[in-house]
Amino acid sequence: MAGYRKLGRTSSQRKALLRNQVTNLLYHGKIVTTEAKAKEIRKIAERMITLAVKEKDNFETVTVTAKVARKDENGKRVKEVVDGKKVTVFDEVQKEIKKDSASRLHARRQMLKVLYPVTEVPAKAAGRKANTVSVDMTEKLFTEIAPKYADRKGGYTRIVKIGPRKGDAAMEVIIELV
């Protein structure tokens, strides 16, 4: 008996399919798929959420000083002439950054092995590449999803049957975050 469902695909196709569906489940909150796929997705998604819940508060906030180029009202860098050369003017800025502990960094990298990068396109600027925003799924897991499930011991997903598919009569389900 295998420890997982093969889903009628090669290992690379199966891995890509499951990664894609887990990423979409965590991004959108629910997806429609077949029952066999949903049971496999559930295992991976719950493992990701468990990692996030365990490590959600495992960081320290550090204040650092950074040099940032000064910009004019048009957003261009301000330059001044020093010894006959044009040199960019820099300002020192205090920034607060989150410094992950070793275990949180490891959890983040484990998540990145599974989750695909997500690019969000705003509705008003559809079709324009310049207006797209890259979504950090690991950060979304740590900041939005993990606090929601902090007091829960597991069972972060729900599978609801919605009936057989018309073409091949495969049982379709909705898998959603509880």
Q: How far apart are CA 75 and CA 84, in angstroms?
A: 24
What are the chain's domains?
11-57+101-177 (3.90.1030.10), 59-100 (no CATH)
From first to last of its 178 residues, the chain has per-residue pLDDT tens of 578 999 999 999 999 999 999 999 999 999 999 999 999 999 999 999 999 999 999 899 999 999 989 888 888 888 888 888 888 889 999 999 989 999 999 999 999 999 999 998 877 766 667 778 899 999 999 999 999 999 999 999 999 999 999 999 999 999 999 9
> What angle, 0 to 180 degrees and rounded to 10, lies between the N-to-C axes of helices 35-55 and 11-28?
60
CB 38 within 8 A of CB 25: no
pTM here?
0.82
